[in-house]
Structure 1
Amino acid sequence: MMNDRIPLKDEDMLRRLRRMRVLVIHPDDTERSMFLAHIKRVGCQVEAIWPAPEALPTYIDVVLFLLNPDRNNRTPAWVTTCDTAARIAIIAFETPEILTELQRMNVHGVLSKPVRIFGILAALTTAVSLATHEARLKQRIKSLDDTLKARRRIEKAVGILSTSRNISEEEAYRRLREKAMTSKVTIASVADAIIASSDI
């Protein structure tokens, strides 16, 4: 007999969705009303606005926005720079201009007009998953970049110590590490202090 219970991982996904704060940027019409009603049924906190704001509220997790083909309407900066919200574009056409704009915006999902209820939940789930993965990748890249910069500063400090104290680079690094341990700070912080004092 089949088990009718929803698997635990699926329940977790639904719980995560219900915690999402969603902003719908769309003219006040029947489609927007459908959006709001359906997203509320899922359990999300949802609000709507039109026209598009110059800045997104900081608490928004997902934004669904109408991509207006009118070139006179400038695209808000947050569409391409926002790292905190999953972005789902709503399009009425698939012209080369629209497709180019979608690529430039690097959105996490697309819904086509006329919008149907079927597909909204899938678009939300996919967009949130992609945005989360993207954020993790960016954080890892930043962490690796910070590590590389710190290593370069440490190498510079080791060179300064080695030259000024007439010791080997191995001994200079050992002293750096000892100083960091006794001071309970990072080696990079000690390196920064040595570099700063040598520049005076």
Structure 2
Amino acid sequence: MSRPSSFSLRGRKAIVAIKDERDATIVRRQFERLGVDSIAWEPTEAIDFAPDLALIDDEFLPLTQPARRAFLGRCPVIALLGTETPSRLKLVFELDPASFLVKPLRSAGIYAALVMAIERSERTNELKQQVVKLEQRLRSRRVVLAAVLQVMHSHALAEPAAFALIRKAAMEQRKTIEELSAEITAKGMLPRATG
């Protein structure tokens, strides 16, 4: 299943928290051109849908309610920066923005900020999934190593021969090496040494 293109924004939903009406008008107009459905949001309000992205004015920061910060953690955030002071930037970093725009806003740059935010978010999610898979593989490697050591000691075999024995038993039992290794370490069930 292919993911939708980051360059196509039509039909995406955005929450927009902007204090300045001029900036809000520019964003609404640009979103209409791009086919993005936007909903004005006050950070104190609850939201009953999952937005595809959020534009948050730095004047609303800090978002003191943890539930609001957690809510924004589920979609890419574009920070709207009015000042570049270290204290303000620190507050912006708490949002983990995927992109940013500098106020006063212009229509130029909004599309690029949206595309970059969505693409960065998707790439970050892919990397997180890869990390989870690698962590699972690392945990399974530990189990395989423990099983190999157990077979080495119980059958007086060298490491390559012990691993080959586990691999052969796993194939015969139609299990993965990791599954059989977990059984060996948990139950003490060892494959018989053959030949």
TM range (shorter): 0.7 to 0.9
1:65 aligns with 2:56: yes
Is 1:148 aligned with 2:159? no
Whether 1:180 and 2:193 are equivalent positions in the alignment is no
Q: Deviations over 1:3-41 (max 9, x none)?
A: xxxxxxxxx957632253322234594533442332132
Q: Secondary structure at the match of 1:37?
A: helix
1:22-171 map, 5 Å: 22-26=14-18, 29=21, 31-51=23-43, 57=49, 59-68=50-59, 73-74=63-64, 76=66, 79=69, 84-171=74-161
In structure 1, C-alpha distance between the alignment counterparts of 2:137 and 2:29, rounded to whole Å: 47
Counterpart secondary structure, 2:56: strand
Question: What SS does structure 2 have at the residue aligned with 1:18?
Answer: coil
User: Any idea what SS the aligned residue of 1:89 has?
Assistant: strand
Q: Which moved more, 1:117-126 or 1:171-180?
A: 171-180
Secondary structure, in 3 states, of the residue corresponding to 2:59?
coil
Report what 1:195 is aligned to. 185
Question: Cα distance, 1:135 vs. partner?
Answer: 2.4
Letter in 2 for 1:46: S
Q: Which has the higher contact order (CA 8 A, sep 6+)?
A: 2
**1:162 maps to amino acid:** M
Amino acid at match of 1:39: F
> Quick one: distance in 2 between partners of 1:181 and 1:141?
28
Q: Could you list the runs of 5+ residues in structure 1 that have no partner in the other structure? A: 1-11
Q: CA deviation at 1:150?
A: 1.6
Instruction: Name the residue aligned to 1:8.
Output: none
Partner-residue secondary structure (3-state), 1:16: coil
C-alpha distance in 2 between matches for 1:55 and 1:174: 56
Give the SS at the match of 1:175: helix
Q: CA RMSD in A?
A: 3.2
* Range with greater deviation from structure 2 (77-86 or 94-103): 77-86
Number of aligned positions between the proteins: 185
- CA separation of 1:98 and 1:171: change in aligned 2, threshold 3 A: same
Give the TM-score normalised by the residue count of structure 1: 0.72
- Aligned mates of 2:179, 2:105 — CA distance in 1: 54
Percent identity (aligned) = 25
Over 3 Å counting, the alpha-carbon distance change for 1:191 and 1:64 in structure 2 is same
